[in-house]
Amino acid sequence: MKNILVTGAAGDIGTRMRKLLKGVYPHIRWSDIKTPADLAPDEEFVAADLSKMEDVEKIVDGIDGIVHFGGFSVEGPWDTILQSNIVGTYNLFEAANRAGVKRVVFASSNHAMGFYPRNKRIGINMPVRPDSRYGISKAFGESVGAFYADKHGLRVTCLRIGNVGDAPIDQRRLAIWLKPEDLVQLIRIGLEHRDIQFEIFYGASNNAASWWDNSNAQRYGYHPIGRADDYREQATAAQAKLPPDPVGDKFQGGPFCTAEYDADRRS
């Protein structure tokens, strides 16, 4: 992997990765719909609207591997999710295939599985249960990745990312926290491991309270260094200041499950 494209360069995760991936690969091209405010002179940046195939074709040209963080990163109106996360993700995989890209690491999300209860431990083979339109788009992206892997031989890794941050900041994040350096480790497995064809990993650090069986990532050599338990006291204190959420506190997707929830009216 000599020439890497990373989309979503202006987002929080993209901003972190621009620091942590620097020097890891000989050439990294960064892209987003808007230019990052802190873009360094030695960083190659190409603006692109993922919903426009001609833009996507431009950014994948000459690329060996793609890390796809681009798109709309929270819940939103259907048309926004459709254009950014569904059309945009299809465009990226299709353009990658046409351009002869070898590997794609797709940033999926825990929200593709958000309606599993917190008392149920889940692995990668459980059916998707999205908690939002955003979660639907991530489940779609995983399916598109599988299609291009199986039909066209693109090597694809989907990362069901929990919450990337410096520390877990509440009770839910004690289960789903992902240390940025651990995300780098997962990206590198997806881009470099010789046996990858199509795989799904959970994007989580070494969290004692985790709801996810991440043995598949461990099988490929993932050894997270972050430990959510190191921050348990602070996260528990912060949780005590939050109002109760009868829906979100029950499900793994938290407030994404709560938004617009009205299933109880059918009881």
Q: What is the CATH number of domain 3-266?
A: 3.40.50.720
- Annotation marks residue 261 as catalytic: no
Options 134, 148, 202, 222, the catalytic residue? 134
Within 10 angstroms of residue 246's Cβ, the number of other Cβ atoms is 9
pTM score of the predicted model: 0.96
Query: What are the CA-CA distances from residue 264 to residues 60, 226, 259 (Å)?
Result: 46, 38, 13
Query: What are the CA-CA distances from residue 217 to residues 68, 158, 221, 249 (Å)?
Result: 18, 11, 7, 27
Rounded Cα distance, 245 and 193, in Å: 41
Rounded Cα distance, 127 and 133, in Å: 17
Q: Tens digit of pLDDT per residue, the chain (267 long)?
A: 899 999 999 999 999 999 999 999 999 999 999 999 999 999 999 999 999 999 999 999 999 999 999 999 999 999 999 999 999 999 999 999 999 999 999 999 999 999 999 999 999 999 999 999 999 999 999 999 999 999 999 999 999 999 999 999 999 999 999 999 999 999 999 999 999 999 999 999 999 999 999 999 999 999 999 999 999 999 999 999 999 999 999 999 999 999 999 998 776
Cα–Cα nearest to 184, from 206, 200, 199, 203: 203
Cα–Cα nearest to 247, from 231, 258, 233: 258
List the Cα angle 150/153/155 in 5-degree steps.
Answer: 95
Sorted by where each begins, the domain ranges of the chain are: 3-266
Query: What are the CA-CA distances from residue 146 to residues 14, 58, 127, 153 (Å)?
Result: 24, 24, 14, 10
